Copies of this chain bind each other. A is one copy, B any other.
Amino acid sequence: MSGNDIIPFRRVAIIGVGLIGGSIGLALKTRRLAQQVIGMTSREKTARLALEMGAVDEIAASIPEAVRGADLIILGTPVETILKHLDAVSTAIDRSDHLEFPIITDVGSAKQKIVAKGDACLPGMFVGGHPMAGSEESGVVAANVALFLGATWVFTQTAQTNPESLDRMIGFAQALGARTLVCDPIEHDRAVAALSHLPHLSAFALTQVADEMVAAGHEIIQAGSFRDTTRIALSSPALWSEILIQNAEEVLCSLDRMGRFIDELREAISLRDEARLQQAISKARQAKERFSRD
């Protein structure tokens, strides 16, 4: 389905109006993909900002109020809260109010637990999603209509996923400018553990090494390499501690993988074995060249 022939939603409820939720609201309204966008946030400042920015038409005071009559419900909070909200949404959906069941999706960076719960408590209605468009910025104040342009938006598919709802979400994400990818939750979590969660852990550790050097009174010379590799150390600690723990198994597995490569590099350096070190670096470079072409 191309982004052009998407059927607009009647009433979209966005539970959690932060960087992602707020940007979805802005994009929906700018592109006229929803007749009405309802935001739900417990923070007064966020509510005011979201209304002022035009990211939402209305702020609901509760989840039942937000989801009433919605044909699309987007769970936009950090991952632990998404798990809680799945229960709340399930309870809140007054099925008699709905001509048809709504689609419920989320934006969480770890998918196994959320999708398992979504499938269980919202059978046939839940489509797990992960727009990979976060940044080290956060909050609705950083929201922008162009956030998803060219970004990858992953949707999960399980035996319980309604194919029509999945198609509709793919069209929705593409209409917002994203490229879409469908995969199962385990495969998603394994991939993001290695390609996103591990780079974050590395950035946190690199920054702490530099901080320790400063604390010990050493001279600090910031190279471009340090700036680039630690940019994401500015990411939200609350958000990331939840993500890393929710995806703990895959993250620990990725850390083990990285540890083996670090050990190999360390041994070559320790032995002053230039040929072996050069070979390991060449392997990395060739891989990076392939990734850069993708």
Binding site for B on A (CB under 8 A): 132, 135, 152, 154, 181, 183, 187-188, 190-192, 194-196, 198-214, 218-226, 228-235, 237-238, 240-242, 244-245, 248, 251-252, 254-255, 257-259, 261-262, 265-266, 269-270, 272, 274, 277-285, 287-292, 294
A217, chain B: closest CB distance, angstroms: 10
In the complex, given contacts A220-B291, A228-B229, what are 18 additional A-B residue pairs having Cβ atoms less than 8 angstroms apart?
A192-B223, A194-B209, A195-B221, A202-B205, A204-B281, A205-B261, A205-B284, A208-B280, A209-B257, A211-B287, A214-B290, A220-B294, A228-B228, A229-B232, A241-B277, A248-B269, A252-B269, A255-B269
User: What is the bound-complex CA distance between A279 and B204, given in angstroms?
Assistant: 11
Q: In the complex, which of the residues B223, B244, B282 contacts A199, with contact meaning CB atoms closer than 8 Å? A: B223
Are A244 and B269 within 8 A (Cβ)? yes
User: What is the bound-complex CA distance between A252 and B254, given in angstroms?
Assistant: 22
User: What is the bound-complex CA distance between A98 and B292, given in angstroms?
Assistant: 50
